[in-house]
Amino acid sequence: MRHGQGDCKIVDNLDDCFVQLPKKAHSLMNRTNLTARAIGSLAFQRHPVPLSLVGVGEMHKNLFSRLDKLTNTIDRAQQFMDYMAVTFRLENPEDAGYTPGSRRQRIKVDYLRILRGWLFNPDGREAAVLKGWVVSRFGLTPRYFNGPLDDYEGEAYQNFLAMQSAGLYNTNAIESQLDLLYYFCQYELKCCRQDQKHKVLYRGVNHFDQHEIMVSGPKRGAIVLLNNLSSFSDDRERACEFGDYIMEVNVPMVKIVFFHDLFPGAFKGEGEHMVIGGLYRVRLLTF
Protein backbone atom coordinates (compact mmCIF):
# COMPACT_ATOMS: atom_id res chain seq x y z
CA MET A 1 0.00 0.00 0.00
CA ARG A 2 1.06 3.58 -0.51
CA HIS A 3 2.39 5.56 2.41
CA GLY A 4 1.79 9.18 3.25
CA GLN A 5 -0.43 11.65 1.45
CA GLY A 6 -0.67 15.37 0.91
CA ASP A 7 1.47 18.03 2.62
CA CYS A 8 1.14 16.60 6.14
CA LYS A 9 3.45 13.64 5.98
CA ILE A 10 5.37 14.22 9.22
CA VAL A 11 4.09 16.67 11.81
CA ASP A 12 4.92 17.69 15.37
CA ASN A 13 1.30 17.65 16.51
CA LEU A 14 -1.33 15.37 15.01
CA ASP A 15 -4.08 17.56 16.46
CA ASP A 16 -3.08 20.33 14.06
CA CYS A 17 -3.23 18.18 10.94
CA PHE A 18 -6.37 17.98 8.84
CA VAL A 19 -6.75 14.80 6.80
CA GLN A 20 -9.64 14.13 4.46
CA LEU A 21 -10.88 10.70 3.48
CA PRO A 22 -9.48 9.98 -0.02
CA LYS A 23 -12.03 9.78 -2.83
CA LYS A 24 -11.04 6.21 -3.67
CA ALA A 25 -11.79 5.13 -0.11
CA HIS A 26 -15.52 5.80 -0.31
CA SER A 27 -18.48 5.68 -2.64
CA LEU A 28 -21.31 8.17 -3.04
CA MET A 29 -24.04 5.71 -2.06
CA ASN A 30 -24.73 3.80 1.13
CA ARG A 31 -27.65 2.69 3.28
CA THR A 32 -26.98 4.53 6.52
CA ASN A 33 -28.10 7.77 8.13
CA LEU A 34 -24.67 9.35 7.40
CA THR A 35 -22.51 9.78 4.33
CA ALA A 36 -19.52 7.50 3.82
CA ARG A 37 -17.25 10.54 4.07
CA ALA A 38 -18.58 11.26 7.54
CA ILE A 39 -18.35 7.63 8.70
CA GLY A 40 -14.75 7.35 7.52
CA SER A 41 -13.58 10.66 8.97
CA LEU A 42 -11.32 11.37 11.94
CA ALA A 43 -14.11 13.48 13.38
CA PHE A 44 -16.29 10.37 13.53
CA GLN A 45 -13.57 8.45 15.36
CA ARG A 46 -13.36 11.22 17.95
CA HIS A 47 -17.09 11.91 18.23
CA PRO A 48 -19.11 8.91 16.99
CA VAL A 49 -22.87 8.98 16.67
CA PRO A 50 -25.29 6.05 16.21
CA LEU A 51 -25.40 4.41 12.80
CA SER A 52 -28.57 2.90 11.41
CA LEU A 53 -29.13 0.83 8.29
CA VAL A 54 -32.23 1.90 6.41
CA GLY A 55 -35.26 -0.19 7.35
CA VAL A 56 -33.49 -2.89 9.36
CA GLY A 57 -34.55 -1.80 12.84
CA GLU A 58 -38.14 -1.20 11.77
CA MET A 59 -38.42 -4.52 9.93
CA HIS A 60 -37.13 -6.57 12.86
CA LYS A 61 -38.48 -4.59 15.83
CA ASN A 62 -40.23 -7.70 17.20
CA LEU A 63 -36.86 -9.40 17.67
CA PHE A 64 -35.48 -6.56 19.76
CA SER A 65 -38.68 -6.40 21.81
CA ARG A 66 -38.09 -10.05 22.73
CA LEU A 67 -34.43 -9.40 23.50
CA ASP A 68 -35.41 -6.57 25.84
CA LYS A 69 -37.12 -9.12 28.07
CA LEU A 70 -34.00 -11.26 28.48
CA THR A 71 -31.27 -10.48 31.00
CA ASN A 72 -28.83 -13.25 30.11
CA THR A 73 -26.29 -12.95 27.30
CA ILE A 74 -26.56 -16.63 26.38
CA ASP A 75 -30.36 -16.45 26.23
CA ARG A 76 -30.23 -13.40 23.98
CA ALA A 77 -27.73 -15.08 21.64
CA GLN A 78 -29.96 -18.14 21.41
CA GLN A 79 -33.04 -15.99 20.78
CA PHE A 80 -31.19 -14.21 17.98
CA MET A 81 -30.02 -17.46 16.34
CA ASP A 82 -33.52 -18.92 16.57
CA TYR A 83 -34.96 -15.79 14.97
CA MET A 84 -32.40 -15.94 12.16
CA ALA A 85 -33.15 -19.61 11.53
CA VAL A 86 -36.88 -18.94 11.22
CA THR A 87 -36.71 -15.63 9.34
CA PHE A 88 -34.24 -16.83 6.71
CA ARG A 89 -35.40 -20.48 6.70
CA LEU A 90 -31.85 -21.59 7.53
CA GLU A 91 -32.94 -25.07 8.62
CA ASN A 92 -35.42 -25.46 5.76
CA PRO A 93 -33.56 -24.27 2.66
CA GLU A 94 -36.19 -25.88 0.41
CA ASP A 95 -38.54 -23.05 1.44
CA ALA A 96 -36.05 -20.56 -0.04
CA GLY A 97 -35.67 -22.34 -3.35
CA TYR A 98 -33.09 -25.03 -2.62
CA THR A 99 -33.43 -28.12 -4.83
CA PRO A 100 -31.61 -31.19 -3.44
CA GLY A 101 -29.16 -32.64 -5.93
CA SER A 102 -28.97 -29.59 -8.17
CA ARG A 103 -25.56 -28.18 -9.08
CA ARG A 104 -23.92 -25.06 -7.62
CA GLN A 105 -26.24 -24.73 -4.65
CA ARG A 106 -24.76 -22.70 -1.76
CA ILE A 107 -27.98 -21.81 0.02
CA LYS A 108 -26.74 -23.38 3.27
CA VAL A 109 -24.11 -20.64 3.57
CA ASP A 110 -25.30 -18.42 6.42
CA TYR A 111 -23.98 -15.59 8.60
CA LEU A 112 -22.18 -18.02 10.96
CA ARG A 113 -20.32 -19.68 8.10
CA ILE A 114 -19.38 -16.28 6.71
CA LEU A 115 -17.94 -15.32 10.10
CA ARG A 116 -16.00 -18.58 10.39
CA GLY A 117 -14.66 -18.06 6.89
CA TRP A 118 -13.38 -14.60 7.83
CA LEU A 119 -11.71 -15.91 10.98
CA PHE A 120 -10.05 -18.67 8.98
CA ASN A 121 -8.93 -16.54 6.03
CA PRO A 122 -9.40 -12.72 5.90
CA ASP A 123 -8.52 -12.81 2.18
CA GLY A 124 -10.92 -15.59 1.21
CA ARG A 125 -14.32 -15.69 -0.45
CA GLU A 126 -16.23 -15.02 2.78
CA ALA A 127 -14.02 -12.00 3.44
CA ALA A 128 -14.86 -10.66 -0.03
CA VAL A 129 -18.57 -10.96 0.83
CA LEU A 130 -18.08 -9.09 4.11
CA LYS A 131 -16.02 -6.31 2.54
CA GLY A 132 -18.57 -5.99 -0.26
CA TRP A 133 -21.31 -5.74 2.36
CA VAL A 134 -19.44 -2.86 4.04
CA VAL A 135 -19.29 -1.07 0.68
CA SER A 136 -23.01 -1.44 0.02
CA ARG A 137 -24.12 -0.55 3.55
CA PHE A 138 -21.57 2.00 4.81
CA GLY A 139 -20.05 3.21 1.52
CA LEU A 140 -16.42 2.56 2.50
CA THR A 141 -14.51 0.78 -0.24
CA PRO A 142 -11.89 -1.93 0.36
CA ARG A 143 -8.28 -0.84 0.12
CA TYR A 144 -6.66 -4.25 0.11
CA PHE A 145 -7.66 -7.78 -0.82
CA ASN A 146 -4.83 -10.10 -1.84
CA GLY A 147 -3.18 -6.91 -3.11
CA PRO A 148 -3.80 -3.14 -3.23
CA LEU A 149 -7.14 -2.15 -4.78
CA ASP A 150 -6.31 1.29 -6.16
CA ASP A 151 -6.83 0.31 -9.80
CA TYR A 152 -10.45 -0.60 -10.51
CA GLU A 153 -9.37 -2.24 -13.77
CA GLY A 154 -6.44 -4.06 -12.17
CA GLU A 155 -6.21 -7.78 -11.54
CA ALA A 156 -6.51 -7.50 -7.75
CA TYR A 157 -9.76 -5.52 -7.93
CA GLN A 158 -11.26 -7.78 -10.56
CA ASN A 159 -10.33 -10.77 -8.40
CA PHE A 160 -12.09 -9.14 -5.45
CA LEU A 161 -15.26 -8.60 -7.48
CA ALA A 162 -15.20 -12.16 -8.78
CA MET A 163 -14.80 -13.64 -5.30
CA GLN A 164 -17.50 -11.39 -3.91
CA SER A 165 -19.93 -12.46 -6.65
CA ALA A 166 -19.09 -16.13 -6.12
CA GLY A 167 -19.57 -15.72 -2.39
CA LEU A 168 -23.02 -14.17 -2.83
CA TYR A 169 -24.30 -16.74 -5.33
CA ASN A 170 -27.19 -18.80 -3.92
CA THR A 171 -26.61 -17.74 -0.32
CA ASN A 172 -30.16 -16.95 0.83
CA ALA A 173 -30.12 -13.16 1.39
CA ILE A 174 -26.75 -13.27 3.12
CA GLU A 175 -26.36 -9.48 3.07
CA SER A 176 -29.67 -9.09 4.89
CA GLN A 177 -28.44 -11.63 7.42
CA LEU A 178 -25.31 -9.51 7.92
CA ASP A 179 -27.49 -6.40 8.40
CA LEU A 180 -29.23 -8.08 11.29
CA LEU A 181 -25.95 -9.42 12.67
CA TYR A 182 -24.62 -5.84 12.86
CA TYR A 183 -27.76 -4.70 14.67
CA PHE A 184 -27.53 -7.54 17.16
CA CYS A 185 -23.85 -6.82 17.76
CA GLN A 186 -24.68 -3.18 18.50
CA TYR A 187 -27.54 -4.23 20.77
CA GLU A 188 -25.22 -6.44 22.83
CA LEU A 189 -22.51 -3.81 23.03
CA LYS A 190 -25.05 -1.35 24.43
CA CYS A 191 -26.24 -3.94 26.95
CA CYS A 192 -22.71 -4.70 28.14
CA ARG A 193 -21.08 -1.29 27.78
CA GLN A 194 -23.99 1.03 28.52
CA ASP A 195 -22.98 4.55 27.43
CA GLN A 196 -19.38 3.72 26.49
CA LYS A 197 -18.61 5.14 23.04
CA HIS A 198 -15.14 3.70 22.39
CA LYS A 199 -13.17 0.54 22.96
CA VAL A 200 -9.39 0.24 22.86
CA LEU A 201 -8.39 -2.53 20.44
CA TYR A 202 -5.05 -3.88 19.22
CA ARG A 203 -3.70 -5.25 15.97
CA GLY A 204 -0.38 -7.03 15.60
CA VAL A 205 1.65 -5.83 12.60
CA ASN A 206 5.05 -6.84 11.25
CA HIS A 207 5.53 -3.90 8.90
CA PHE A 208 3.63 -0.81 9.95
CA ASP A 209 4.69 1.00 6.76
CA GLN A 210 2.62 -1.48 4.76
CA HIS A 211 -0.47 0.33 6.04
CA GLU A 212 -1.70 3.49 4.35
CA ILE A 213 -0.04 6.02 6.63
CA MET A 214 -1.49 9.44 5.92
CA VAL A 215 0.43 11.36 8.59
CA SER A 216 3.24 10.45 10.99
CA GLY A 217 3.44 12.23 14.32
CA PRO A 218 5.48 12.21 17.52
CA LYS A 219 5.57 9.41 20.10
CA ARG A 220 4.80 6.76 17.46
CA GLY A 221 1.46 8.34 16.68
CA ALA A 222 -0.01 8.34 13.19
CA ILE A 223 -3.13 8.82 11.14
CA VAL A 224 -3.81 5.80 8.96
CA LEU A 225 -6.42 4.74 6.46
CA LEU A 226 -7.62 1.30 7.47
CA ASN A 227 -9.14 -1.25 5.12
CA ASN A 228 -12.92 -1.04 5.02
CA LEU A 229 -13.06 -4.07 7.34
CA SER A 230 -10.20 -5.16 9.59
CA SER A 231 -9.53 -7.59 12.43
CA PHE A 232 -8.52 -6.36 15.87
CA SER A 233 -8.21 -7.93 19.30
CA ASP A 234 -9.20 -6.71 22.74
CA ASP A 235 -6.29 -8.70 24.19
CA ARG A 236 -2.95 -6.90 23.84
CA GLU A 237 -0.96 -10.02 24.73
CA ARG A 238 -2.65 -12.07 22.02
CA ALA A 239 -2.13 -9.29 19.49
CA CYS A 240 1.60 -9.56 20.19
CA GLU A 241 1.56 -13.02 18.61
CA PHE A 242 0.65 -11.60 15.21
CA GLY A 243 3.42 -9.07 14.65
CA ASP A 244 6.52 -7.33 15.89
CA TYR A 245 4.54 -4.21 16.72
CA ILE A 246 1.08 -3.48 18.06
CA MET A 247 -1.25 -0.88 16.62
CA GLU A 248 -3.43 0.53 19.38
CA VAL A 249 -6.67 2.14 18.25
CA ASN A 250 -9.54 3.84 20.04
CA VAL A 251 -12.42 2.34 18.04
CA PRO A 252 -15.96 3.74 18.08
CA MET A 253 -18.34 1.09 19.37
CA VAL A 254 -20.68 1.75 16.44
CA LYS A 255 -17.93 0.61 14.05
CA ILE A 256 -17.73 -2.89 15.56
CA VAL A 257 -19.53 -5.43 13.36
CA PHE A 258 -18.75 -8.55 15.40
CA PHE A 259 -16.86 -9.56 18.54
CA HIS A 260 -15.87 -13.04 19.66
CA ASP A 261 -18.20 -13.25 22.68
CA LEU A 262 -21.30 -12.26 20.73
CA PHE A 263 -22.26 -15.95 20.54
CA PRO A 264 -20.78 -17.47 23.73
CA GLY A 265 -18.87 -20.67 23.03
CA ALA A 266 -19.44 -20.59 19.25
CA PHE A 267 -16.10 -19.09 18.24
CA LYS A 268 -12.59 -19.59 19.47
CA GLY A 269 -10.39 -16.65 18.59
CA GLU A 270 -7.90 -14.13 19.84
CA GLY A 271 -10.40 -11.65 21.25
CA GLU A 272 -11.49 -11.06 17.65
CA HIS A 273 -13.30 -7.85 16.72
CA MET A 274 -14.31 -6.96 13.16
CA VAL A 275 -14.00 -3.20 12.70
CA ILE A 276 -15.31 -0.91 9.96
CA GLY A 277 -12.48 1.12 8.46
CA GLY A 278 -11.78 4.70 7.44
CA LEU A 279 -9.35 7.20 8.92
CA TYR A 280 -8.05 6.45 12.40
CA ARG A 281 -5.58 8.03 14.73
CA VAL A 282 -3.42 5.20 16.07
CA ARG A 283 -0.45 4.59 18.31
CA LEU A 284 2.31 2.08 17.57
CA LEU A 285 3.43 0.08 20.60
CA THR A 286 6.45 -2.12 21.12
CA PHE A 287 6.69 -5.16 23.36
Q: Is position 95 within any domain?
A: yes
pLDDT band at 2 (very low <50, low <70, confident <90, very high): very low
Q: Is position 3 within any domain?
A: no
Mean pLDDT of the chain: 89
Q: Is position 132 within any domain?
A: yes
pLDDT at residue number 95: 57
Domain that holds residue 188: 14-285
Question: Which one-letter amino acid corresponds to residue 196?
Answer: Q
Q: For residues 226-257, b (16+ Cβ closer than 10 Å) or e, as one string? A: bbbbbbbbbbbeebbeebebbbbbebbbbbbb
Give the 3-state DSSP-derived string for the chain, with helices as H, strands as E and coil as C: CCCCCCCCCECCCHHHCCCCCCHHHECCCCCECCCHHHHCCHHHHHCCCCCCECCHHHHCHHHHHHHHCCCCHHHHHHHHHHHHHHHCCCCCHHHHCCCCCCCCCCCCCCHHHHHHHHHHCCCCHHHHHHHHHHHHHHCECCCECCCECCCCCCHHHHHHHHHHHHHHCCCCCHHHHHHHHHHHHHHHHHHHHCCCCEEEEEEEECCHHHCEEEEECCCCEEEEEEEEEEEEECCHHHHHHHCCEEEEEEEEHHHEEEECCCCCCCCCCCCEEEEEEEEEEEEEECC
Determine which of 64-78, 120-134, 167-181 has the lowest per-residue pLDDT on average: 167-181
pLDDT band at 99 (very low <50, low <70, confident <90, very high): low
Chain length of the chain = 287
Q: Is position 4 within any domain?
A: no
Which of 278, 180, 279, 14 has the alpha carbon at shortest distance from 188?
180
pLDDT tens for 209-252 read 778 999 999 989 999 999 999 999 998 888 888 878 899 999 99
Q: How many CB atoms are closer than 10 A to CB 12?
A: 8
pLDDT tens for 162-206 read 999 888 876 788 999 999 999 999 999 999 877 899 999 999 988
- pTM tops 0.75, yes or no: yes
pLDDT at residue number 265: 86
Q: Is position 164 within any domain?
A: yes
Cβ atoms of 270 and 219 closer than 8 Å: no
Cα–Cα distances in angstroms (integers) from residue 98 to residues 129, 144, 171, 175, in the given order? 21, 34, 10, 18
Q: Is position 2 within any domain?
A: no
Whether the predicted pLDDT of 3 surpasses 50: no
Determine which of 34-43, 131-140, 239-248 has the lowest per-residue pLDDT on average: 239-248
Q: Is position 5 within any domain?
A: no
Q: Is position 8 within any domain?
A: no
Which of 226, 217, 219 has the alpha carbon at shortest distance from 250?
226
pLDDT band at 100 (very low <50, low <70, confident <90, very high): low
What is d(CA 2, CA 9) in angstroms, rounded to the nearest whole number?
Answer: 12
pLDDT band at 36 (very low <50, low <70, confident <90, very high): very high
- Per the structure, the count of domains in the chain is 1
